[in-house]
């Protein structure tokens, strides 16, 4: 075997929160997402037993497997693609890979993309060959397609870039969007200026929802009534533009109002749920400036934007309303230097 004595490497990647624009982003509208630095996925790559090839151990998923035996597993495929990208023959290495994560699975915090990103980073560190953020993101995007069919690419991008991002996927040809043939498109990826720190309280409904299900339902509704749905997506896109402006001047009151308006539109396109709406209402009643679901919907998480002094009250209102998990997080100021 070619690489018997390389030192082990552990890498991590953050969770993510879509601030606004989910679903409409699949149809070419902008969305804004931020990394969640305080929940992370980890991958550890170490030399494996000689002659055993690549072995995986994922205790959180209660899974352990050999790449040789399950080459079609999405993480096995990701490892093979990453090794090829690193100019390493997947058949020439013995590796022991462990994956752990404190990001809830299928909870709207990007657990799958974070695990994949941590894995790509750990492999590239292990072999001492640095990949750019765009290369990491592209590898993870291909892996995301295995789970979601036609992801917009926002999850892998915000997690691989690890900064607040404005993301626009090019508008797909509607016929193309009906197939799974979308390949990693060239998307607009820009840093988002955040003039004042944000205090967010996340509430998890505890209901696991696979993103592809609400995404598929929205697609069916869009196909049935494209004029109405494209108008709704465009309206969401307008709100996202205004949210970017509010973030850039630190106007959190306007930001709260716009987040609420985004939630109303998400309800109209049919991706909210009674459990989400209960948490959202309770958070607003407890003094949040705005609250909405985040991610695919039908379950998963919501978040509330609050003044720092209201965070504890909002968190306990969410707990009282039955949230399975509540987490306070802070989005730091992000200033963009003007290029001369």
d(Cα 284, Cα 12) in Å, to the nearest integer? Answer: 34
Question: What distances in angstroms separate CA 167 from CA 12, 21, 34, 241, one per listed residue?
Answer: 22, 9, 11, 11
Candidate list 15, 48, 290, 296; residue touching ligand PMV; CB under 6 A: 296
Stretch that binds ligand PMV, among 149-157, 195-203, 254-262, 330-338 (CB under 6 A): 149-157
Q: Among candidates 148, 203, 186, which has minimal Cα distance to 17?
A: 203
| Minimum CB distance to ligand PMV smaller for 65 or for 147 | 147
Three-class DSSP category at 257: helix
Q: How far is the CB of 336 from ligand PMV (least distance, A)?
A: 24
Q: How far is the CB of 154 from ligand PMV (least distance, A)?
A: 5
Q: How far is the CB of 157 from ligand PMV (least distance, A)?
A: 10
Q: Among candidates 4, 14, 231, which has minimal Cα distance to 101?
A: 14
Element at 47 (helix H, strand E): strand 31-47
| Minimum CB distance to ligand PMV smaller for 31 or for 43 | 31
Q: How far is the CB of 110 from ligand PMV (least distance, A)?
A: 6
| Minimum CB distance to ligand PMV smaller for 64 or for 234 | 234
d(Cα 32, Cα 240) in Å, to the nearest integer? Answer: 7
Q: How far is the CB of 238 from ligand PMV (least distance, A)?
A: 17
Element at 44 (helix H, strand E): strand 31-47
Give the interface size with ligand PMV as a residue count (CB under 6 A): 16
The answer to whether 290 contacts ligand PMV (rule: CB under 6 A) is: no
**Is 155 noted as a catalytic residue in this protein?**
yes
d(Cα 114, Cα 202) in Å, to the nearest integer? Answer: 18
The answer to whether 35 contacts ligand PMV (rule: CB under 6 A) is: no
Candidate list 14, 35, 90, 151; residue touching ligand PMV; CB under 6 A: 151
| Binding positions for ligand PMV, 88-127, rule CB under 6 A | 108, 110
| Binding positions for ligand PMV, 6-25, rule CB under 6 A | 18, 22-23, 25
Q: How far is the CB of 25 from ligand PMV (least distance, A)?
A: 5
> With contact defined as beta carbons under 8 Å apart, do 276 and 205 qualify?
yes
Q: How far is the CB of 84 from ligand PMV (least distance, A)?
A: 25
The answer to whether 154 contacts ligand PMV (rule: CB under 6 A) is: yes
Provide the mask over 200-239, with x wherever binding to ligand PMV is found by CB under 6 A and - wherever it is not.
-----------x---x------------------------
- Residue 190 sits at the vertex; the CA angle it makes with 230 and 30, to the nearest 5 degrees, is 10
- For 267, list phi and psi in degrees, rounded to 5: -65, -40
d(Cα 137, Cα 157) in Å, to the nearest integer? Answer: 5
Strands in 128-284 per DSSP E: 165-168, 188-191, 198-204
Q: Which of 155, 204, 225, 320 is catalytic?
A: 155
Q: What is the 3-state secondary structure (H, E, C) of 262-293?
A: HHHHHHHHCCCCHHHHHHHHHHHHCCCCEEEE
The answer to whether 275 contacts ligand PMV (rule: CB under 6 A) is: no
CA 217 to chain centre: 20
- As a whole number of Å, the end-to-end CA separation of the chain is 51
Strands 198-204, 325-331: pairing is antiparallel
Closest CB to ligand PMV: residue number: 295
| Minimum CB distance to ligand PMV smaller for 55 or for 187 | 187
- Residue ranges binding ligand PMV (CB under 6 A): 18, 22-23, 25-26, 108, 110, 148, 151-152, 154-155, 211, 215, 295-296
Task: Please give the positions annotated as active site.
Answer: 155
């Amino acid at each position: 075997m070619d690489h018997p004595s390389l030192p082990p490497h552990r890498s991590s990647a953050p969770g993510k929160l879509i601030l606004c624009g989910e679903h409409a982003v699949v149809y070419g509208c902008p969305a804004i997402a931020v990394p969640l630095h305080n929940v992370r996925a980890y991958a550890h790559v170490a030399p494996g037993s000689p002659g055993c090839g690549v072995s995986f151990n994922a205790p959180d998923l209660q899974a352990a497997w050999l790449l040789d035996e399950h080459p079609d597993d999405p993480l096995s495929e990701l490892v093979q693609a990453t090794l090829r990208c690193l100019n390493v023959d997947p058949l020439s290495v013995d590796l022991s890979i462990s994956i752990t994560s404190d990001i809830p699975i299928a909870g709207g915090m990007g657990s799958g993309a974070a695990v994949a990103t941590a894995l790509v980073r750990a492999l590239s560190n292990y072999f001492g060959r640095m990949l750019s953020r765009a290369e990491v993101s592209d590898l993870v995007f291909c892996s995301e397609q295995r789970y979601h069919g036609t992801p917009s690419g926002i999850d892998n991008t915000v997690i691989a870039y690890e900064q607040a991002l404005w993301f626009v996927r090019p508008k797909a040809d509607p016929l193309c969007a009906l197939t799974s043939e979308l390949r990693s498109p060239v998307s607009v990826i820009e840093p988002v200026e955040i003039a004042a720190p944000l205090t967010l309280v996340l509430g998890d409904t505890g209901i696991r929802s696979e993103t592809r299900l609400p995404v598929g339902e929205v697609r069916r509704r869009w196909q049935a009534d494209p004029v109405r749905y494209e108008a709704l997506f465009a309206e969401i896109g307008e709100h996202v533009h205004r949210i970017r402006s509010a973030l850039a001047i630190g106007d959190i009151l306007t930001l709260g109002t716009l987040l609420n308006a985004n939630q109303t539109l998400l309800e109209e396109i049919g991706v909210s749920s009674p459990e989400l709406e209960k948490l959202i209402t309770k958070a607003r009643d407890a003094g949040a400036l705005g609250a909405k679901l985040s991610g695919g919907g039908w379950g998963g998480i919501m978040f509330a934007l609050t003044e720092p002094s209201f965070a504890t009250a909002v968190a306990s209102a969410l707990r009282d309303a039955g949230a399975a998990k509540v987490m306070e997080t802070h989005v730091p100021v992000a200033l963009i230097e003007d290029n001369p």
